[in-house]
Amino acid sequence: MRKMQTILPLLIVAALTWDACAVESPSVPANKRTKSLAQWEQLKYGMFIHYGMSTFSGDYRTSRNSASKVYTPTDLDVRQWVATARRAGMKYAVLTAKHTLGHCLWDSEDYDYDVATSTETTDVVAEFMAACKAESIKPGIYYCVLDIHNEGGTELKWKAPVGAEYEAQIKRHLTELHTNHPDIFEQWIDIPHKLSARQRWDIYRLIKKLNPDCLVIMNAAFTDGTEIPKGAWPTDLTNGERTLPPPSGHNPLQRIDGEEYYVPMEMCETVTGNWFWHPGDRTRSIRHLHYLYRENLRRGANFLLNVSPDTTGQIPADQVKALMDLKAMIDNPMSFRPSVITDAKLKASNVFQNQDQYGPQNAVDNNWATRWATDAGVKSALLEIDLGEARTFDTVVINEGWDRIRKFQLQYELDGKWRTCLAGTLVGPDYEKQFKLVAARRVRLNIIEATDGPTLWEFQLLAPR
């Protein structure tokens, strides 16, 4: 297999030349590729760290069970987070300093809901910044505007505008962060649409005044970067939350209000299915993570991969292993086993509303963003594959949507009869299982029982090592 190359369309490559004459203004986003933006693009791969009160309360949507004393890490080790990022080949890291519950991971002056009022009083932001310096990792800070503690009530207020009192608190917090830590390289502002245009501009200019080299990212959420929503402007960077750039690649040249700006893209995803740690979390398959890494870089975006330290205050061993296994695959592309399903003929017992966009071919196209789907109410289904010739394989990879399968068989045809090489129950989003070597031309996934119409994002059969 050829070594992966990061190839961008000619239009985008032309735009990526850093203009040494570009002026970096603290008051407006850049209209050309500046030195800071070029440095950020070269980082390519970073670690997102979701950790805080929600790690301990079990939820980020309600303030129930989130008194400050609930924050009780038993073996906090911030250096472990950043050292893991370095070992994994990451070049930068972004920490959730304040998320939706409003609890701050630093001792904020005249503020009653932070680590200083908790049982464990370590200034996590200061520890994070020191660890990043020690490990040569560029530091970023995440700050969420949506905030139950400061906006009142017990539930999130997604659409409520930000009042003058809370706006002043946001500015005090950001002033503290950037005064105490002038080396912050990337500043996330999440849920910026709650702010008015004037408030967003004020916050953008405040950060730039305190730290001119810091790049501000107003989270554009679930977008592919082709345009920046008005509620996420002004911004130096754009983000695709669990959304890849288009296959043709991200074009950083964005036209907004008649002016052209240079806005690179970052896509963020999770090692597990959750942003914050939950008991029973499972890591994604390394093939899936490698796909996300590979496609982000190929399409011209940075990849920010989230880990979730647990209640000890450390990244769990299974997440660390996933990152190390991913690095091994990145460093040695030959270790990536391609699926033996190429140019196959497929047949499915059912397709959602008979639409081609949900046909069986979408389950075997090595694209984790397309899927085979069946109609609602379907409780059993068959996916049949004709490989065209006999091929050998000993591993199956299945990425299922919505965890509906309860019983299945992987079968192959021999002498005109279907024989079972693997039987199982639950599948889920990242199923990978090895079995006794099989040589066959025709294979099928027999979904015997499901709670509702089964959906597969990806189905792969791997040749033996």
Which structure tokens are listed for 191? 């849920």
DSSP assignment letter at 69: G
d(CA 76, CA 312): 6
Name the segment(s) of the chain with CATH classification 3.20.20.80. Answer: 10-335
- Domain 345-462, what fold? Jelly Rolls (2.60.120)
Angle (CA) 51 56 60, round 5°: 70
Predicted local distance difference test score (pLDDT) of residue 9: 43
Tell me the pTM: 0.87
CA-CA-CA-CA torsion sign (325, 246, 371, 436): negative
Predicted local distance difference test score (pLDDT) of residue 447: 98
d(CA 253, CA 32): 8
Q: What is the pLDDT along the chain (465 residues), one digit of tens a residue?
A: 333 333 444 334 445 555 655 555 668 999 999 999 999 999 999 999 999 999 999 999 999 999 999 999 999 999 999 999 999 999 999 999 999 999 999 999 999 999 999 999 999 999 999 999 999 999 999 999 999 999 998 999 999 999 999 999 999 999 999 999 999 999 999 999 999 999 999 999 999 999 999 999 999 999 999 999 999 999 999 999 999 999 999 999 999 999 999 999 999 999 998 999 999 998 988 989 999 999 999 999 999 999 999 999 999 999 999 999 999 999 998 788 889 999 899 999 999 999 999 999 999 998 888 999 999 999 999 999 999 999 999 999 999 999 999 999 999 999 999 999 999 999 988 899 999 999 999 999 999 999 999 999 999 999 998
Are the beta carbons of 461 and 390 closer than 8 angstroms? no
Predicted local distance difference test score (pLDDT) of residue 11: 39
Name the segment(s) of the chain with CATH classification 2.60.120.260. Answer: 345-462
Cis amide bond preceding 234, omega within 30:
yes
Phi and psi angles of residue 155, each rounded to the nearest 5 degrees, phi first? -120, 160
Helical packing angle, 164-180 and 197-210, nearest 10°: 20
Are the beta carbons of 403 and 273 closer than 8 angstroms? no
Which structure tokens are listed for 149? 């503690």
Predicted local distance difference test score (pLDDT) of residue 163: 97
d(CA 44, CA 46): 7
Single-letter amino acid code for the residue at 136? S
Query: What is the CATH code of the structural domain delimited by 10-335?
Result: 3.20.20.80
Are the beta carbons of 329 and 285 closer than 8 angstroms? no
Which structure tokens are listed for 74? 């038993």
CA-CA-CA-CA torsion sign (376, 380, 386, 390): positive
